């Protein structure tokens, strides 16, 4: 191994913390001036030097390689303003510095993802509103179960992503602690003002224990866990998009640009975007496993293993961000094929529960009603009929309670309209649900 320094270093992946690292240093230096640990002349010189590096970075200039981004910034500062630049590292260590940088990075990343989730929810609510009369089969075990409104289906995802947002907000609370001032592990003998630095950097709290301050990575794990649950929810949605697009279902279409053709089969439109989003879960769950494994068994306080925390955090964030951006556009283009979704409700004896409920409302114990309807369904299967193809005489053979009005209960729209319990699928319930969600999304 020739390049040992490169091996133990993190410069190849922590470069994206450069700007944050400089802002953290500016805050630290201002605090050192305020607490008179360094004089204001020196402080101004350092801050101006840091600001000039920041400006150049923003213009696209590349900072020369060092072991890690913290050394790179410090060395560049000393190159620009001389040895006084070395005063910047008074009363801190790279251990508390990197923990601070990563927390700031994650705070920003969490807000970005929250905003994307909110956009996604708004798209879903609009879709639900626009398709409020579309009826489709609802499934359990992927078998036709009962008819539902397509809007009801879409809103289920709005609620999932609402929890994802709230989970991120909760995670944010624990990220929002400043570890800077923990120094290497034991704190420092300098009379620093950590609250000042926290306020400058927009942290709500400061860490209480310097050992914990430099060694804690729960916040990163929690953030990647949040990314993992979002990814998990996206896989469920994408799986259904893939299924509903299959001609066997034919329930939906999405814009062609989210699909691709086959190199051999000219007729194909494959749902690649949905598949890639589903597949991305593999690496995102992997990122979570990586973090768990890196932190597992580490003795207090800082260990160099922790340096490996950054690639999984960045990877999970980048990929969820891309997935949500694609998902937002893809779902905005989604169209229901309502003839097919309605046709779907004609398969699989989807009115069966409603017939059992009909009997139960007429005083038949539900268990008995269940078994009567099971016999009706078996009869239908044997005679290749569906429920609405039965005559009233046939119904009456199974129970004298059936009256002519039973046919009303075989109609999917009627079945949907009857579901009036809180949170259910009737249009009335769904309109209410949309109102409630819209209030939350304001």
Contacts with ligand ARG, residue ranges (CB under 6 A):
10, 14, 68, 70, 94-95, 98, 302, 304, 306-307
Q: Is 141 a catalytic residue?
A: yes
Burial of 262 (0-12, 13-18, 19+ CB in 10 A): exposed
DSSP-derived secondary structure letter, 348: S
Cα(84)–Cα(46) distance, integer angstroms? 7
Nearer Cβ to ligand ARG, position 105 or 336?
105
Nearer Cβ to ligand ARG, position 69 or 277?
69
Cα(268)–Cα(266) distance, integer angstroms? 6
Nearer Cβ to ligand ARG, position 73 or 390?
73
Q: Is 40 a catalytic residue?
A: no
Cα(34)–Cα(237) distance, integer angstroms? 53
Rg (CA), the chain: 30
On the CB side of 268, CA atoms within 13 Å amount to 9
Q: Active site residue: 10, 25, 89, 141, which one?
A: 141
To ligand ARG, the closest distance from the beta carbon of 304 in angstroms equals 6
- Residue 62: both structure tokens together: 């590349």
Yes or no: say if 201 and 40 are a contact pair by the CB < 8 Å rule. no
Cα(98)–Cα(219) distance, integer angstroms? 13
Nearer Cβ to ligand ARG, position 3 or 140?
3
Short-list 182, 211, 218, CA closest to 102: 218
Nearer Cβ to ligand ARG, position 21 or 240?
21
Which residues face 252 on adjacent strands?
Answer: 336
Task: Estimate the share of the chain in helix, then strand, then coil, as percent rounded to the nearest 5.
Answer: 70, 5, 25
Nearer Cβ to ligand ARG, position 68 or 315?
68
Residue by residue, DSSP assigns 71-127 as HHHHHHHHHHH-GGGGGGGTT--HHHHHHHHHHHHHHHHHHHHHHHHHHHHHHHHHH
Q: Active site residue: 40, 262, 333, 391, which one?
A: 262
Show which residues are catalytic.
141, 262
């Amino acid at each position: 191994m020739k390049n040992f320094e490169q091996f133990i270093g993190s410069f190849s992946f922590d470069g994206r913390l450069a700007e944050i690292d400089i802002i953290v240093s500016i805050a630290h230096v201002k605090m050192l001036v305020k607490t008179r640990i360094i004089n204001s002349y020196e402080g101004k010189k350092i801050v101006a030097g840091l600001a000039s590096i920041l400006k150049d970075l923003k213009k696209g200039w590349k900072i020369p390689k060092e072991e890690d981004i913290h050394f790179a910034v410090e060395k560049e500062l000393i190159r620009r303003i001389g040895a006084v630049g070395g005063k910047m590292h008074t009363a801190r260590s790279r251990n508390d510095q990197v923990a601070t940088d990563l927390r700031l990075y994650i705070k920003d990343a969490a807000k970005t993802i929250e905003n994307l989730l909110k956009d996604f929810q708004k798209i879903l609510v609009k879709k639900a509103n626009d398709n409020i009369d579309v009826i489709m089969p609802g499934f359990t075990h992927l078998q036709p179960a009962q008819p539902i409104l397509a809007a009801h289906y879409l809103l289920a995802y709005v609620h999932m992503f609402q929890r994802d947002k709230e989970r991120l907000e909760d995670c944010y609370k624990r990220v929002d602690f400043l570890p800077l001032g923990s120094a290497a592990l034991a704190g420092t003998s300098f009379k620093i003002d950590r609250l000042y630095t926290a306020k400058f950097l927009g942290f709500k709290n400061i860490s209480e224990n310097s050992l914990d301050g430099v060694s804690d990575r729960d916040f990163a794990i929690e953030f990647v866990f949040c990314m993992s649950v979002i990814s998990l929810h996206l896989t469920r949605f994408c799986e259904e998009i893939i299924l509903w697009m299959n001609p066997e279902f034919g329930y939906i279409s999405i814009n062609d640009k989210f699909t691709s053709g086959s190199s051999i089969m000219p007729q194909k439109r494959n749902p690649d975007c949905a598949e890639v989003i589903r597949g991305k879960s593999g690496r995102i769950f992997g990122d979570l496993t990586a973090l768990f494994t890196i932190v597992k068994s580490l003795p207090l306080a800082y260990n160099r293993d922790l340096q490996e925390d950054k690639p999984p955090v960045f990877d999970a964030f980048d990929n969820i961000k891309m997935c949500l951006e694609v998902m937002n556009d893809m779902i905005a283009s989604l169209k229901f094929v309502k003839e097919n979704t309605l046709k779907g409700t004609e398969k699989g004896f989807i009115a069966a529960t409603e017939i059992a409920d009909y009997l139960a409302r007429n005083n038949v114990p539900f268990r008995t009603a269940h078994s009567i309807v099971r016999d009706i369904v078996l009869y239908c299967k044997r005679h290749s009929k569906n429920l609405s193809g039965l005559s009233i005489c046939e119904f009456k053979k199974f129970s004298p309670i059936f009256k002519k009005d039973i046919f009303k209960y075989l109609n999917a729209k009627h079945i949907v309209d009857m579901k009036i319990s809180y949170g259910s699928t009737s249009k009335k319930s769904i309109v209410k649900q949309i109102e409630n969600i819209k209030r939350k999304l304001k």
